[in-house]
Chain A
Amino acid sequence: MKAPGSLGRWPPSWVAVAALLTGLIVTGALVLTSAAVYTRSERRLLNLRVRELSLVLAATAPSIQTPLASAAELANATGGSSQKFREFMAPYVGPGRQFTSVSLWPLGTSHLAPSAVLGSAPVLASMPERATQFFTRSTRAGVLNLTSFLSSPHPALGFDFSAPGRAHGFAVYAEKPLPADRRSSLEKNSAFSDLNYALYLGHSERTSDVLVTSLQRLPVEGRQAADVVPFGAGVFTIVVSPIGSLGGAFFERLPWIIALVGLLVSLAAALMTDRLARRRRYAEQLVGVLDQVAAENREMYTEQRSIAQTLQHALLPDALPDFDGLQVGARYVPAASGIDVGGDWYDTVPVGDGQMLIMIGDVSGHGLRAATTMASLRHAALAYAAQDPSPSFVLAQLSDFVNSGAHDYFATMLCALIDVGAHRLTVASAGHIPPLLIDGTGGQFVELDANVPIGVMRKSPYLQKTFSVGPDTTLIAFTDGLVERRGEVLDVGLARLREAATHAALSLEDLLSELAQGLASEGHHDDTAIVGIRWQN
């Protein structure tokens, strides 16, 4: 048997593993859900931010268009006065100002060239073919037109505006340099400092079309959002990606927090479940141990009982005597339960002159003491019967024998002297239940003086009665276990016995067996002796 204290920690109980797995699955589901919610909200936020940035960029268009448009109107009004043009545009040009170069271009001539230039020479002026194509085909009057010199050593963005409706008027052209490496970070305190961005010219996201970006490497990688920014006659494309978490660090870490807490809770639950499961297993083992002890007890009890029964049987007669003209039978039925044997006994003794003495008795109490008392009473009774088989004599002598010494028991006893040939029966009782007499008219209990049991008082008389019986009469003498039941008046048990003994014509042996089996089947609590005789004619 495994000692209950030596339970190992491994392997864990399956229910604990199940609890752990359940916890991990729930945790995993929560982590995935929170991650999905986080991703969705980040994407939504990013889309909002790129829209905001796009609107801010678009809003810068008028700050470029307005001075150029005003200058174009002024040129038309002054017939292209260089001086007026310079005076008007001077505050917009120079280092740290809006443009590096502004120039006035008279249109409608075959050879296009600027008539006035402020700041550095425009890059466009060094490319006459490109300039011709730009002003004659690509631009429209009345809107801000865009061009770019991205592959130039001095990359720049060019803006053009000419007043509408005047085919031979003037175009005002401005250039704004781009950083040579196109790298420009947003200012730290800007509303968009949490974003990386790349700004492209036109509907393009090609690296060659990038105007300016905060990234060291293009294209933009990871989570990103793009928007198209209308700008004058052209468009920019803006692509952004978040630097950190737009929704806040907490929501970014939430899946990890859930994962960690879920893992800890799952582990704790598994440990607790394992502990409970072990306690339960321990309790079950304990029950097993108790069952085993109970089984061992039962075995010991059965063994003890069997020893006591062996003793009881040793004290009872080995064989019943053969008797001419008389059938004799007996049964001893041990109690269905309980260790203690009873003090029941019986004897059938031939006493000469065709007579037989039947003695049956019951010593109060149970156990070894009742059994040994029974043995001494039985042998004393046999001795008195050898002296004089008269029932009243035997009982009176036995009573005086018992009362001559100190004792704490009593015994009920029945003596019946059978004269076989004379069909005569002499019976005396010492507080014993009367025997059942069965003949052709049915069964009835012999009416006797009860007298007092053996061992109650000295010199008490034991009155006997003599009856004549008809042929084939049966006598059944028994101890109280046959008829006594808890919670039942004795007469009910007596009536039950009479019914059982007379309901069918059975041989004496069958009758005794039936009575004994009836007892055994009901699980009675007291040992019982039954003696039967039947006249054979």
Chain B
Amino acid sequence: MAELGVEPPTVQIDVHLDSTGAHVVVLSGELDSSNAATLQERVESIPPQPTQRLIFDLTGLRFMDSAGIAVLIGAVRNASSVSLRNPSPIIQRVLETTGLSNVFSIEP
């Protein structure tokens, strides 16, 4: 793809259960429309339960566009609670602008 002048960004996704029984999705890299579908699949593979709690750890995430936000919003519909952990100031600002800081609970 380098000939086309497009270097696809990469995102690393790691899902694990923490001690409280919540699924933690650790994201790092850059999340955009070129790789949001990958995250979507990983999130959908988490078994849906009425008491499901999801935590997106955004510590290592440098960039997230609207396609990435759409995946997070989609997760809200399938879980009892969704938290975003430690978003960068850049992402925090995007969440504020889009009015989503009230939809997710944001952990420092």
Residues of A that sit less than 8 Å from B by CB: 294, 297-298, 301, 337-338, 340, 362, 364-367, 408-410, 412, 429-433, 449-453, 455-457, 480, 484, 486-491, 526
Contacts of B97 in A (CB 8 A): 431, 433, 450, 490
In contact, B76 and A294 (Cβ under 8 angstroms): no
In contact, A489 and B63 (Cβ under 8 angstroms): no
In contact, A489 and B93 (Cβ under 8 angstroms): yes
Q: Which of B67-83 contact A (CB under 8 A)?
A: 67, 69-70, 73-74, 76
In contact, A489 and B89 (Cβ under 8 angstroms): yes
Q: Does B103 contact A (CB under 8 A)?
A: yes
Shortest CB–CB separation between residue B42 and chain A, in angstroms?
A: 15
Closest to B40 in A: A408
Report Cα–Cα, A170/B60, bound state, in Å.
Answer: 134
In contact, B103 and A365 (Cβ under 8 angstroms): no
Most buried by B among A429, A453, A488: A453
Chain B count of residues within 8 A CB distance of the other chain:
29
Residues of B that sit less than 8 Å from A by CB: 3-6, 30, 33, 36, 40, 62-63, 65-67, 69-70, 73-74, 76, 89-90, 93-94, 96-100, 102-103
Contacts of B99 in A (CB 8 A): 429-431, 449-453
Sample 18 A-B pairs with CB under 8 A, ordered by A number.
Answer: A301-B4, A362-B66, A364-B66, A365-B36, A365-B66, A365-B67, A410-B70, A431-B97, A449-B99, A450-B96, A450-B97, A450-B99, A452-B102, A452-B103, A453-B98, A484-B65, A486-B63, A489-B93
Report Cα–Cα, A408/B67, bound state, in Å.
Answer: 10
The 3 closest A-B pairs by CB, nearest first: A450-B99, A431-B98, A364-B66
Known A297-B3, A338-B6, A364-B69; contact A412-B93, beta-carbon cutoff 8 A: no
Contacts of A453 in B (CB 8 A): 73, 98-100
Shortest CB–CB separation between residue A302 and chain B, in angstroms?
A: 10
Known A450-B97, A452-B100; contact A487-B90, beta-carbon cutoff 8 A: yes
Closest to B94 in A: A490
Shortest CB–CB separation between residue A377 and chain B, in angstroms?
A: 14
Closest to B71 in A: A408
Report Cα–Cα, A364/B30, bound state, in Å.
Answer: 16
Contacts of B100 in A (CB 8 A): 431, 452-453, 456
Closest to A406 in B: B77
How many A-B pairs have beta carbons closer than 8 Å: the answer is 83
Contact of B70 among A298, A364, A433 (CB under 8 A): A364
In contact, A456 and B76 (Cβ under 8 angstroms): yes
Contact of B33 among A298, A340, A488 (CB under 8 A): A340
Contacts of B63 in A (CB 8 A): 486-487
Shortest CB–CB separation between residue A23 and chain B, in angstroms?
A: 42
In contact, B6 and A488 (Cβ under 8 angstroms): no
Contacts of B94 in A (CB 8 A): 484, 490
Known: A410-B70, A431-B100, A450-B96. 12 other contacts (CB 8 A): A298-B3, A337-B4, A364-B70, A365-B33, A365-B67, A409-B70, A410-B73, A429-B99, A453-B98, A455-B73, A486-B30, A487-B62
Contacts of A433 in B (CB 8 A): 97
Closest to A343 in B: B66
Shortest CB–CB separation between residue B103 and chain A, in angstroms?
A: 6
Shortest CB–CB separation between residue A489 and chain B, in angstroms?
A: 5
Contacts of B36 in A (CB 8 A): 365
Contacts of B76 in A (CB 8 A): 456-457
Closest to B63 in A: A486
Report Cα–Cα, A340/B65, bound state, in Å.
Answer: 14
Shortest CB–CB separation between residue A181 and chain B, in angstroms?
A: 94
Contacts of A488 in B (CB 8 A): 90
In contact, B69 and A366 (Cβ under 8 angstroms): no
Contacts of A294 in B (CB 8 A): 3
Report Cα–Cα, A288/B6, bound state, in Å.
Answer: 21
Closest to B101 in A: A450
Contacts of B4 in A (CB 8 A): 297-298, 301, 337
Report Cα–Cα, A449/B70, bound state, in Å.
Answer: 21
Contact of B74 among A367, A408, A451 (CB under 8 A): A408
Contact of B69 among A410, A429, A489 (CB under 8 A): A410
In contact, B70 and A365 (Cβ under 8 angstroms): yes
In contact, A408 and B70 (Cβ under 8 angstroms): yes
In contact, A366 and B5 (Cβ under 8 angstroms): no
Closest to A340 in B: B33
Shortest CB–CB separation between residue A534 and chain B, in angstroms?
A: 25
In contact, B93 and A490 (Cβ under 8 angstroms): yes
In contact, B70 and A337 (Cβ under 8 angstroms): no
In contact, B93 and A456 (Cβ under 8 angstroms): no
In contact, A490 and B90 (Cβ under 8 angstroms): yes
Shortest CB–CB separation between residue B34 and chain A, in angstroms?
A: 9
Contacts of A430 in B (CB 8 A): 99
In contact, B66 and A337 (Cβ under 8 angstroms): no
Closest to B98 in A: A431
Report Cα–Cα, A476/B76, bound state, in Å.
Answer: 33
Contacts of B102 in A (CB 8 A): 452
In contact, A450 and B74 (Cβ under 8 angstroms): no
In contact, A337 and B30 (Cβ under 8 angstroms): no
Report Cα–Cα, A218/B32, bound state, in Å.
Answer: 104
Contacts of B96 in A (CB 8 A): 450
